[in-house]
Structure 1
Amino acid sequence: MADIEQSPTSAEEEAARAKEKAEQDALPYKWTQTISDIDITLTVPGNLKARDLVVDIKKLSVSAGIKGQEPIIKGDLPHAIHVDDSTWTLTSAPDGNRTVEIHLDKVNKMEWWPHVVTAAPKIDVSKIVPDNSKLSDLDGETRSMVEKMMYDQRQKEMGLPSSDEQKKMDILKKFQEQHPEMDFSNAKIN
């Protein structure tokens, strides 16, 4: 008899979320991500200056910490980043400590990362609910492509032709008007 795979119960799901949160909270750094970048935050003593830190950002690895000590974060990245567009800053925190903020610019802007460094515990990326981006945030070409897709989706939902289908019908109509002597009764548009 075949085993039937069952979806997790809400209690199992809740336990998995709690375990994931505990693993992430135990990391010596905090991290967040958008679909296009990763932001890592490390807390260091308030008397430190940038020269007291060692931050090394490479295409497939990151390391950051206090000079002469084990790095706070060190490891291989799960995916490539744009090194030239990745940065780090040292800022004062309200509690008297300082914060090292590392910004990593993802090469693949269509992929969620399960962790910052491959040795760290993973998060379940299937549970990520992205913020809705605004069309105004997109570059011109991407924005027009998304607007076209949205228009075509609305047209499809209403049973109307897509923009490409409408364009073909307009061309055929114009051609028919220019050539009334031709019979288009059996014409098919693909």
Structure 2
Amino acid sequence: MNIDDEKFDGLLLAIAEKHENGIPQFLDTIASFLRRKTDFFTGVSQAEWEGLLLGVFQKQYEKAITQNSGNGNQSVTKQDNRKAENIAKRESRDEENAPKEEISKPINDVDDESEKEEIGKLKPNSGNGCTLDNYSWTQTLQEVEVKIPLKTSSTLRARDIDVIIGKSSIKVGLKNQEAVINGKLCAEVKQEDSVWVLQDNNIVLITLEKINKMNWWDRLISTDPPISTRKINPEPSKLSDLDGETRSLVEKMMYDQRQKEMGLPTSEDKRKIEILEKFKMQHPEMDFSNCKFN
């Protein structure tokens, strides 16, 4: 082991001990420090800081594998495996007993002037969607997942459920009863790739395949209260699953959407401005005071 590896062990252990939720909270503290005190996230592209993080952790992973294989202590490995299995079982029980996700709450406080328009909109739930009284939904850039618990004491079968998925509409409920969801979708979906299943005898789970995979939905149907798409936190691993060209396009679209929501120039607007500035430098004799972009 490199002596430098142990240089900050005392400090890091002291910090780690203050985190009741273990490694995830510890890593979140480090990421928070980088966000608040450095330009780690904003000074480079998302692809660059993701690549840097992946490279660092991959390097340490390979060292861990090499060290473990060199020890030749199989009993330790088995013991660790048993611990991991017990932790997984415990976490599974905790998840089952955990309280249901709270209903999405309106945004009342904002950090700066540019976010005033967000007041009154709902905060996205942990799945970048919304949790309402009768159903909840989550989303990625590719699809929307809707979860509808049907309030009945009866054991339901698929034939008892009425689900109609249109290109731009959806209707869900028990047959011969008022629908739980019935309205125009936020955006169009691929009917042939959208499916539903009955889960645990009383929960309808629907997966809607988006046609436009570049935008976040701010609501499921037109009558729902909107969520703040500026508060959406896309999972980096989802973007990393895309090929290079598609990922670059998605990142550009996400950037442009955020810029539009904040009333700032998009990447295309910036490109036009740069061209104009260059042209102005080449032709100082011309008057560009009335020049506007469409």
Q: TM-score, normalised by structure 1?
A: 0.59
**Offset of residue 136 of structure 1:** 6.3
AA matched with 1:30: S
In structure 2, the partner of 1:124 is: 228
Amino acid at match of 2:138: T
Q: Tell me which of 28, 33, 37 is aligned to 2:134.
A: 28
| Aligned positions of 1:105-120 closer than 5 A | 105-120=209-224
Shift of residue 148, structure 1, vs aligned partner? 8.7
1:81-160 to 2 correspondences below 5 Å = 81-92=189-200, 98-133=202-237, 137-138=241-242, 143-145=243-245
Counterpart-to-counterpart distance in 1, 2:247 and 2:185: 34
| Structure 2: gaps spanning 5 or more residues | 1-108, 125-129, 250-294
Does residue 169 of structure 2 align to residue 61 of structure 1?
yes
1:42 pairs with one of 148, 156, 159: 148
User: Could you tell me how far 1:78 is from its partner in structure 2?
Assistant: 1.7
Per-residue Cα deviation, 1:19-66 (whole angstroms, up to 9, x for no partner): 7259x5443111000111100001123511111110000000000000
**Partner AA of 2:197 in structure 1:** T
- The structure whose Rg is larger is 1
- Note the C-alpha offset of 1:81: 0.4
- RMSD in angstroms over aligned alpha carbons? 3.1
- Cα gap change, 1:10 to 1:107, in 2 (>3 Å): same
Aligned residues: percent identity?
37
- Larger proportion of helix: 2
Cα distance 1:134–1:105, how it changes in 2: closer, same or farther (>3 A)?
closer
Q: What SS does structure 1 have at the residue aligned with 2:237? A: coil
> Which has more strand, going by share of residues?
1
Per-residue deviation, residues 53-87 of structure 1 (Å, max 9, x unmatched) = 10000000000000111111110012110000000
1:20 aligns to what SS in structure 2?
coil
Aligned to 1:188: none
Deviation at 1:91, TM superposition (A): 1.1
**Contact in 1 for aligned 2:146/2:206 (Cα 8 Å):** yes
2:178 pairs, out of 70, 93, 102, with 70
Q: Which of 1 and 2 has higher RCO (CA within 8 Å, sep 6+)? A: 1
Q: How many residues align?
A: 131
**Gaps in structure 1 of 5+ consecutive residues:** 1-7, 150-190
TM-score, length-scaled by structure 2? 0.40
Q: Are the aligned partners of 2:217 and 2:229 in contact in 1 as well (CA < 8 Å)?
A: yes
Deviation at 1:137, TM superposition (A): 2.4
For 1:83, the aligned partner's letter is Q
Q: CA deviation at 1:126?
A: 1.4
Question: Given the superposition, is the C-alpha separation of residues 115 and 148 from structure 1 closer, same or farther in structure 2, using an over 3 Å criterion?
Answer: closer
